Structure 1
């Protein structure tokens, strides 16, 4: 195109040049030549402009092609991302007090926690000089996580901040294969139905006296349990509580449970054994117990510290759940070996029964221990929740083989209002009757009674 424009311009110029001598006067020749020169300059400028426009057009076409390629690549990327998202495994969210996330292949993750807020009044004989009256505390304030990992692995980590400083509760990894479960870490050893039942699900604010007096607590160790049908076998080797580490002391514990169902009635029969070797030089033990509620530091029965080489424990347990009714009982003997002295055997146990006043409600049970109460008609869904009444006789004897730690007879009553599966209020009354108490009255009497009224507000997730 550019070449044809140039040829036309030259032809016009030549044609004009031949015509002028014959059609114009000599006087006009110079003017015509000037006009022709101007026209040629204009033609040359036009040709240059055309060249410039063609170059700009080529650049624009190249940029458009590049933009088109970028847009096409973006479209392909978006399509691929959409396809990948459609093929990605879904994440399921279940609500169990808090969100529980479950992914494909066995992944799961859940934040967990609990609050136990206690308050109450205690009344002791004035002449003992012990402090009574109103008391309160944040009994538990736990926060943690738990989950599962593909391959049968799991984990649970939970810390308690109630005392102002973080204190480790459960902290372990586990492996499950069918009815077998292996656990390594900080965990409960296998002593007592009452001890293994979560504090969220007990029928009284505090557990039976012997569980605290005989120092049942979580310990660092490795354990295994196997469940087949109605039988559960548990065992493990443990060192000490994390707050007492490092330590050379160790224990071996085992428990067997038979838990058949007769129609809708759940039965429970179990036994446990405990052996602890106290290796540390100058090892001592001390058994003592508060008057029912934890918010007081007073202890009216107390063996004091004495030298010991080992502990041997034997426990028996039984329970029944039949609709709204439940009953449970345990007995536990703790024998202590001492060098050069007689070996004392201390004893603790309880029997209790409870009944739900609300229709359709019953105490929960799972894997050899009491479980969560789930109201049939919870608050917020047209109901009033579950209302339960309980009574317990609790006995603890810390006197034997020359050690006079005293005895405690406890008569306890509780009312529990479980509004939802994750909230409850508890009201307890306990009458404690002491013999050989460590604090005498002004007249020297060591046999007297104490009264405690306590209340708990509880939530967990």
Structure 2
């Protein structure tokens, strides 16, 4: 722009040097004046472009919550997301059980990296890969659309199994969810779903096939899932009451299911209760859930019935349930959003010179895999946990479980009724 100012100044100087009567008559002066006016217009145009560029840059906002989130006024949003969880645990079982999976074990429980965001017009997306198992595989991978109180999703996502399963692993109070969620094979699947969310009411439903990694030319299963939640706030307390129903048809002629579960930690591959393979043509599930958050205190519980259809054993029905509660010694409340538990926000973290959040929790976790002549075993797990969050996105956890088994799949010198103790440590960070 300074290059343009030079001829303007020269022109102005020339004008001051010309007598008034010459300015009125000399055509060269008139041409010079016209050129100066043209240069002024060009300068104004360039200035406008510069200001417009500044305005365009100001339209993009960057927020930082463990990772940058970019957004624009016209509806674009983009964020990189991820998590890392590392566990170490020991499983103490009767000496008569000789299994290499017992004793000390450790693993990266979860290692995920992905992206999520919004697009103009109400569209959104999320894609995340899990690397902890050695081979990358998708967890969430979907496109969504929101209109008012409605949301529609196409792709791989959770199929509304219940409160424990839908609550992110980042926000659970124990290393592993309730035993029935793993035993009955809850997982994300590819499908289409719709959700209505009002002030106190949540209604969810969808049609699903298999998980991305299990898809082939002929889908092995098709199912329908639904959930309804009533979630009122009363006197500053958050209440939660819900139920879900699920049906899954198994399409293969030789289909079977198997229900089993690890002892409260994932780093061991031992399953003390296990139905073995059961011939099946379908699965039908029914769940009930309830929870409440009362300041630093919370309680939650669920029950779930899983019926196997088309089984030579006579359509057995298996059952799981849990009841848990916890208290934050440092005064926080358990987070809640959209019909599930959410992030605990640290009131006085290390970044503010405080000690962070400290919470203690207890849970009874029951699973019964005995029915219709199938003896998979039962468990009563009595668990306790201590969680410390120095800041919002970092957690260190200590878990203990005393698990009493009946009709265990693994005998201890011929005895199938015994107990094991489990102790575990976790370090976790997310962004």
TM-score (norm 2): 0.88
Deviations 1:286-308 (A, max 9, x none): 00001111000000100001110
State which of 68, 75, 85 in structure 2 corresponds to 1:99. 68
Pairing 1:158-177 to 2, within 5 Å after superposition: 158-177=128-147
Structure-2 change in CA distance of 1:77 and 1:217 (3 Å): same
Asked if structure 2 preserves the Cα contact closer than 8 Å seen for 1:396 and 1:409, the reply is: yes
* Distance (Å, rounded) in 1 between the aligned partners of 2:370 and 2:87: 31
State which of 320, 327, 340 in structure 2 corresponds to 1:369. 340
Structure-2 change in CA distance of 1:447 and 1:339 (3 Å): closer
1:115 corresponding residue in structure 2: 84
Equivalent position SS for 1:439: coil
Larger Rg computed on CA atoms: 1
Deviations 1:65-85 (A, max 9, x none): xxx9xx999968853541331
Residue 383 in structure 1 maps to residue 351 in structure 2: no
* Alpha-carbon distance, 1:258 to partner: 0.2
* Distance (Å, rounded) in 1 between the aligned partners of 2:41 and 2:107: 64
Equivalent position SS for 1:380: helix
State which of 140, 152, 155 in structure 2 corresponds to 1:182. 152
Deviations 1:130-164 (A, max 9, x none): 23211100011100000000100000000011112
* Distance (Å, rounded) in 2 between the aligned partners of 1:384 and 1:93: 29
* Distance (Å, rounded) in 2 between the aligned partners of 1:111 and 1:77: 39
Equivalent position SS for 1:200: helix
Residue 264 in structure 1 maps to residue 233 in structure 2: no
Deviations 1:26-74 (A, max 9, x none): xxxxxxxxxxxxxxxxxxxxxxxxxxxxxxxxxxxxxxxxxx9xx9999
TM-score (norm 1): 0.82
Pairing 1:112-151 to 2, within 5 Å after superposition: 112-131=81-100, 132-151=102-121
Equivalent position SS for 1:204: coil
* Structure with the bigger percentage of helix: 1
State which of 253, 258, 263 in structure 1 corresponds to 2:225. 253
* Distance (Å, rounded) in 2 between the aligned partners of 1:338 and 1:226: 34
1:449 corresponding residue in structure 2: 419
Equivalent position SS for 2:54: helix
Aligned residues: 392
Pairing 1:272-291 to 2, within 5 Å after superposition: 272-291=244-263
Equivalent position SS for 2:47: helix
Residue 425 in structure 1 maps to residue 393 in structure 2: no
Structure-2 change in CA distance of 1:292 and 1:187 (3 Å): same
* Distance (Å, rounded) in 1 between the aligned partners of 2:341 and 2:48: 52
Stretches of structure 2 lacking an aligned partner (at least 5 in a row): 1-35
* Alpha-carbon distance, 1:378 to partner: 1.2
State which of 364, 372, 388 in structure 2 corresponds to 1:393. 364
